[in-house]
Structure 1
Amino acid sequence: MSRLFRDLDGGPVCPDGSVVCIGAFDGLHLGHQALVRHAVARAHALGVAAVALSFEPLPREFFAPASPPPRLMLPRAKVRALQALGVDTIGLLRFDARMAALSAEAFIGLVLAGRLRAREVWVGPDFRFGHRRGGDIATLHREGGVHDFVAGEIEPLALDGERVSSTRVRAALAAGDFATATRLLGRPYAISGHVVRGRRLGHTLGYPTANLRFGGKVPALRGIYATRVRGIAGGADADRPWPAVSSFGTRPTVGGVEPLLEAHLFDFDGDLYGQRIEVEFVARLRDEEKFDDLPALVAQMDRDAAQARSLLAAPETMPRPGGIPFSPREKVARSAG
């Protein structure tokens, strides 16, 4: 189990030294994975801890609270994914006013040298950090000489002639291009979490749903989707996909405000409240709409469900890739949503 820390201050987290990689890691796409895996390999070679250092909230969320960037991944999912990549220690540093005012040199002294006893620091292309983004790879090289660590920058990873980035993943998801998103991520795009209780309106309308909140973040996609849900069956079948039609949005017809992911599992009867599930997005059906009344909404839901069933019943043309095992593989009792 990886160790998690969030504070700038405190004693050494890695007293025997570490190899550190730094990034936002939103989505943990193939470029992120290459950086993390490189740091883990270097840590193993040196016999020290591998550390992934990130921030929560993301700096762009802190500086633009009224128009934050869409998020691909919630903090808990990021931690689980980094653990799966072999990271020993994860830093989700609180990005607040103090952090924003911290110079690059002070950050290096407090965190990289002080808390992590870094021996190597690895970053991605064009990495910037510190107050007003004043620090870069040259800063790390210079300060490394003072604090006795070396720094390096990995080469950008390209796909189809363009750099792999979270921005490209967000654009693919917004366009409903899940094939491209899968190639950039190295796995199908999915959102996982614990099922929460809703208003039970779906039961009334004949479409009971398993509901996942998105932690107050802005999601990278909205609309109605054909999906597969994992974590439903128990035991060895916990990763078996269950076909579903899902809505991700604010539910304007019924006056919703908070983005909510609602998955209606076809031909499922049980109770999923409190269980951890994963919703994998397969195909985009349409935009979220506001209907004049509930009968009109239900009529459209009937059409959505029929379309999703048809899409999901077709033979899969793309096997689920390897890479980060996001699916919850712990035993989940058969229950219903």
Structure 2
Amino acid sequence: MSRLFRDVDGGPRCPHGSVVCIGAFDGLHLGHRALVRHAVDRARALGVPAVALTFEPLPREFFAADAPPPRLLSARAKAQGLVDLGVDQVGLLRFDARMAGMSAEAFCRDVLARRLGAREVWVGPGFHFGKGRQGDLATLRAQGRELGFDAGEIAPVLLDGERVSSTRIRAALAEGDFALAERLLGRPYAISGRVRRGRQLGRKLGYPTANLHFDGDTPALSGIHATRVHGPGLDAWPSVSSLGTRPTVDGGEPVLEAHLFDFEGDLYGSRIEVEFVARLRDEEKFDNLADLTAQMHRDAEQARALLHHDRRATA
């Protein structure tokens, strides 16, 4: 993505100025979308690029590297989602020891003013930044007066009287409440990625799967689910998916394995999106493959019934 940059160093990216929004943007929920769209609208009014700044890894992942908290969206999906919302440039700034030690004032001077030529900077409620999270909206405004940009905060987006947040979405997913997660996100919760070739054990058991890996990220949910798969030649294809560490066969890194019902084709190398519809059960460790296969039959039957009912209800 040519509009993507990772570094705080380098020459000016926006010589004629920009409007910048800053956030973790994990999930790109309704609150994030309101912030990004406001920044894009302001950029269009001023005739300058809209820039979204976020961090990879997320700061909370950097400071808890041994036990990273769950995340809702991969870096690639987040960047693409920001572009889809109208952002002209996406800064996935490397959050490392140097970034963690950068003062709020240095961030304003070196990143917002020098690198991006910010004319306006927009953040969400309760935003903090810089070393020790010492910077806030008041810091942005004070620095902006010296460096030539304005700063503002959008109003919180509420749902059922509570602020929309990634924390609420993670809690909803952990409870299998995909209806609430969808309302908070503004779209069904889904995980996307490129299908990789696995050990093909599922094929031997009669359940070939399309496998997505997380490359060190911690998924926000686990277990067996009724799902729909979107991708090339796929239109909400009904499926049953397992997300977890596969304790019966290897107990390794988390993998999302989607079995598409009555599907014949090769998805290896394709980018797909797995949409979660309903939680069936927790992941289990079985004594043998025969017991695992018997449970897979029951899971598939339950998922088919749920998806058939759901499709009729929403038709």
- 8 A contact 1:229–1:277 mirrored in 2: yes
Find the aligned partners of 2:183 and 2:312 in 1 and give their Cα distance.
14
Shift of 1:319: 5.7
Q: Given residue 178 of structure 2, which amino acid in structure 1 is its aligned partner?
A: F
Letter of the structure 2 residue corresponding to residue 290 of structure 1: K
Task: Count how many residue pairs are aligned between Structure 1 and Structure 2.
Answer: 315
Over the matched positions of the two proteins, sequence identity in percent amounts to: 72
Residue in 2 that maps onto 1:331 = none
* 3-state SS of 1:305 partner: helix
Aligned equivalent of 1:284: 279
Distance in 2 between residues matched to 1:155 and 1:44, nearest whole Å: 20
* 1:315 positional shift: 4.2
1:243 aligned partner, one-letter code:
P
Displacement of 1:316 in angstroms is 3.1
Q: Residue 144 of structure 1 aligns with which residue? A: 144
Matched, 1:227 2:227: yes
Give the superposition deviation at 1:318. 7.4
Give the Cα–Cα distance (whole angstroms) in 2 for the partners of residues 112 and 317 of structure 1: 51
| Residue aligned with 1:81, SS | helix
- For each residue in 1:61-80, what CA deviation from the matched residue of structure 2 results, as whole angstroms up to 9, or x when unmatched? 00111121101000000011
Q: Matched residues in 1 for 2:15 and 2:312: separation?
A: 49
Structure 2 distance, partners of 1:39, 1:260, is 36
Distance 2:76 2:251 in 1: 25
Q: Whole-Å Cα distance in 1 between the matches of residues 260 and 293 of structure 2?
A: 16
| Residue matched to 2:218 | 218
Q: Write the deviation string for residues 237-272 of structure 1: whole angstroms up to 9, x where unpaired.
A: x5x110000000000000231100000000011111
1:71 corresponding residue in structure 2? 71
Determine whether 1:255 maps to 2:250: yes
Provide runs of 4+ in structure 1 moved above 6 Å: none
Counterpart AA for 2:248: T
Alpha carbon RMSD of aligned pairs, Å?
Answer: 1.3
Are the counterparts in 2 of residues 14 and 117 from structure 1 also a CA contact under 8 Å? yes
* Aligned counterparts of 1:318 and 1:33: Cα–Cα separation in 2: 29
How far the C-alpha of 1:294 sits from its partner, in A, is: 0.4
Distance in 2, matches of 1:88 and 1:312, equals 38
Q: Is the 8 A contact 1:2 1:87 kept in 2?
A: no
- Pairwise mapping of residues 1-337 of structure 1 onto structure 2 (< 5 A)? 3-233=3-233, 238=234, 240-316=235-311
- Contact residue 223 and residue 249 of structure 1 kept, 8 A: yes
Corresponding residue SS for 2:311 = coil
Unaligned runs of at least 5 residues, structure 1? 321-337
Distance in 1, matches of 2:97 and 2:200, equals 40
The SS at the match of 1:316 is helix
Deviation by residue 1:175-204 (Cα, 9 ceiling, x = unmatched): 000000000000000011110010110011
Asked if 2 retains the 8 angstrom alpha-carbon contact of 1:74 and 1:215, the reply is no
| TM-score, normalisation: structure 2 | 0.98
Give the 3 Å change call, closer, same or farther, for CA 85–317 of structure 1 in structure 2: farther
1:72 aligned counterpart, secondary structure: coil
Counterpart amino acid of 2:199? Answer: R
Q: Which runs of 5+ in 2 are unaligned?
A: none
